[in-house]
């Protein structure tokens, strides 16, 4: 039987009793997948598209976390985020928006000025521990990801004796820290592609169900990542079919939320998986 969870978004209880789709909105000039980059002029069109295609949430990111990406200042990160958050707050004030940041200051600014509903932190609170307090004080769900180091050096830190054992311990400790910070709704993200080899990623996907012991919703982000395109020796632009296969397996193995670039194909896939699970579980 599939685990189901509930989280509170904008003071409303949301039951994750079906796969939820988080659409990527990258307002960065250097994200790994060129097709995901959105200029200020293209934000409104991109938002309207992903909402019409069935996205449940939009995740706005102003800091590229691809391996070796340039570090930027909090000021630059806010400047990149502002056009998207302005538009969303104005045109879609009730739509659940997540901000992809590891900085407490940026998270607090986004919640206080734009009523952002979710904080998505690639570092799980390790790069800026105060971000946990921000999420707790504002009562928003917190997505904590597994990563070692920083985006600049994480791919030099890929040795694991037992990756699933290490991630289980990591998230158990994160759960304690989140609870101490007042976070009621913790979502865990195994961090596919972050401080992991291609083989690590596939082992993690195969054994993803082991993380259900933590009794937390699992979010996965594998869309067009190197575990697809490098393994197949293709470009990110050509990796949609492989991405859909990965997300199908992730949902079958216990994930509740998928973070995607391509909403319409993901929506169709998720509906088929959900129908199968509800019909025969």
Question: In which residue are the tokens 């195994």 written?
Answer: 190
What is the pLDDT confidence band of residue 32, given thresholds at 50, 70 and 90?
Answer: very low
Greater pLDDT, 42 or 113? 113
User: For position 118, what pLDDT does the model report?
Assistant: 98
User: Rounded to the nearest 10 degrees, what angle do helices 74-91 and 43-52 cross at?
Assistant: 60
Q: What is the token pair recorded at 211? A: 């993380």
Residue 152's contacts (CB-CB under 8 Å, 6 or more residues apart) are 68, 69, 71
Average pLDDT score over the chain? 92
**For residue 168, what pLDDT is reported?**
98
The pLDDT of residue 105 is 98
Predicted confidence at residue 250, as pLDDT, reads: 98
The residues, any chain, with a CB within 8 Å of residue 57's CB and separated by 6 or more, are 20, 21, 22, 23, 96, 97, 98, 117, 118
Average pLDDT of the segment spanning 150-162: 80
Out of 103, 148, 196, 259, the active site residue is 259
Per the listing, tokens 């707790």 go with 136
User: How many Cβ atoms sit within 10 Å of the Cβ of residue 256?
Assistant: 23
pLDDT tens readout for residues 46-95? 999 999 999 999 999 988 776 666 788 999 999 999 999 999 999 999 99
Q: Is 160 exposed, middle or buried (0-12, 13-18, 19+ CB in 10 A)?
A: middle
Active site residue 165: no
Residue 229: the pLDDT is 95
pLDDT over 90 percentage in the chain: 81
Q: What is the pLDDT of residue 33?
A: 46
Q: Are 185 and 194 in contact (CB under 8 A)?
A: no
Judge contact between 223 and 243, C-beta under 8 A: yes
Tens digit of pLDDT for each residue in 177-196? 999 999 999 999 999 999 99
How confident is the model over 212-257, as pLDDT tens digits? 999 999 999 999 999 999 999 999 999 999 999 999 999 999 999 9
Question: In the prediction, which pLDDT does 158 show?
Answer: 83
Under the banding of pLDDT at 50, 70 and 90, the label for residue 40 is confident
| Structure-model confidence comparison of residues 216 and 31, the more confident one | 216
pLDDT given at position 113: 98
From 18, 80, 148, 225, active-site residue: 225
Check if 259 is active-site. Answer: yes
Sign of the torsion formed by the C-alpha atoms of 127, 133, 137 and 143: positive
């Amino acid at each position: 039987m599939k685990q189901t969870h509930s989280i509170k978004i904008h003071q409303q209880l949301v039951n994750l009793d079906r796969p939820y789709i988080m659409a990527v909105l990258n307002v960065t000039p250097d994200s790994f997948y060129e097709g995901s980059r959105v200029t200020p002029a293209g934000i409104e069109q991109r938002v309207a598209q992903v909402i019409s295609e069935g996205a449940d949430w939009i995740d706005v990111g102003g800091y590229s976390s691809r391996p070796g990406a340039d570090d930027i200042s909090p000021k630059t990160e806010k400047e990149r985020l502002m056009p998207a958050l302005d538009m969303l707050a104005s045109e879609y004030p009730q739509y659940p928006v997540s901000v992809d940041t590891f900085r407490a200051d940026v998270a607090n600014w986004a919640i206080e000025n734009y009523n952002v509903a979710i904080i998505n932190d690639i570092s799980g609170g390790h790069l800026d521990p105060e971000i946990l307090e921000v999420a707790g004080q504002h009562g928003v769900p917190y997505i904590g990801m597994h990563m070692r180091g920083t985006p600049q050096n994480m791919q030099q830190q890929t040795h694991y004796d037992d990756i699933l054992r290490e991630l289980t311990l990591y998230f158990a400790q994160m759960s304690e820290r989140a609870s101490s910070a007042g976070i009621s709704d913790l979502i865990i993200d195994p961090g596919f592609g972050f401080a992991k080899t291609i083989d690590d990623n596939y082992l993690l996907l195969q054994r993803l169900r082991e993380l259900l012991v933590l009794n937390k919703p699992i979010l996965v982000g594998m869309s067009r990542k190197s575990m697809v395109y490098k393994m197949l020796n293709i470009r990110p632009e050509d990796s949609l079919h492989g991405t859909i296969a990965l997300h199908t397996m992730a949902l079958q193995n216990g994930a509740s939320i998928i973070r995607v670039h391509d909403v319409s194909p993901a929506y169709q896939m998720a509906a088929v998986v959900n129908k199968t699970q509800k019909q025969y579980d």
